Amino acid sequence: MKLQIENLVKLQNLDREIANMLGNEEAQASDSDFDFDSLEKLDKMRRKRVRLAKTIDKRIIRYYERLKGNKGDKNAVVPVVNAVCQGCNISVPTSTAAKLQRKDSITTCDHCGRFIYSV
Ligand SMILES: [Zn+2]
């Protein structure tokens, strides 16, 4: 299970990169010399995302996508620092903190519902 949360964090980072690239593409849309290199890079990242998504439980992916849609802030997976969720800044219960330390399951914040992991 440890692998899943690690991959989920990777997936979120990849989503951010893709979103950034798409933003750049739009900004350059009126540019006459179209950047095929970045288009190729984007394609590679999308394929990497598909591969990565396959390593994660489908239910988790679905929940992740929903969180991303709802929160809209691209922070569906957040770290817990000093037992405080970095998504909503509220302390997580001791039991949740202990669960996080074991790193054997995917946990969500009781308050904001985001996926949380210990750093
Ligand atoms: Zn939270």
List the chain domain ranges: 2-118
Q: Does domain 2-118 have CATH number 2.60.200.20?
A: no
> Is the whole model's pTM more than 0.85, yes or no?
no
- Going from the Cα of 67 to the center of ligand 1, the distance in angstroms, rounded, reads 12
Residues with CB under 5 A from ligand 1 (ion): 85, 87-88, 109, 111-112
Across the strands, what pairs with 91?
84
Residue 105: left if φ>0, alpha if ψ -120 to 50, beta else—which one?
A: beta
- Going from the Cα of 115 to the center of ligand 1, the distance in angstroms, rounded, reads 8
- Going from the Cα of 81 to the center of ligand 1, the distance in angstroms, rounded, reads 11
Give the pairing of strands 77-81 and 115-118.
Answer: parallel
DSSP 8-state assignment for residue 93: P
Task: Provide the residue-wise pLDDT of the chain in tens; the chain has 119 residues.
Answer: 567 899 999 999 999 999 888 887 666 665 556 678 888 999 999 999 999 999 999 999 999 999 998 766 678 999 999 999 999 999 999 999 998 988 777 899 999 999 999 98
Q: How far apart are CA 73 and CA 87, in angstroms?
A: 10
Cβ–Cβ under 8 Å, residues 9 and 117: yes
Interior/surface letters 44-75, b for 16+ CB within 10 angstroms, e for the rest: eeeeebeebbeebeeebeebbeebbeeeeeeb
Cβ–Cβ under 8 Å, residues 111 and 88: yes
- Going from the Cα of 53 to the center of ligand 1, the distance in angstroms, rounded, reads 23
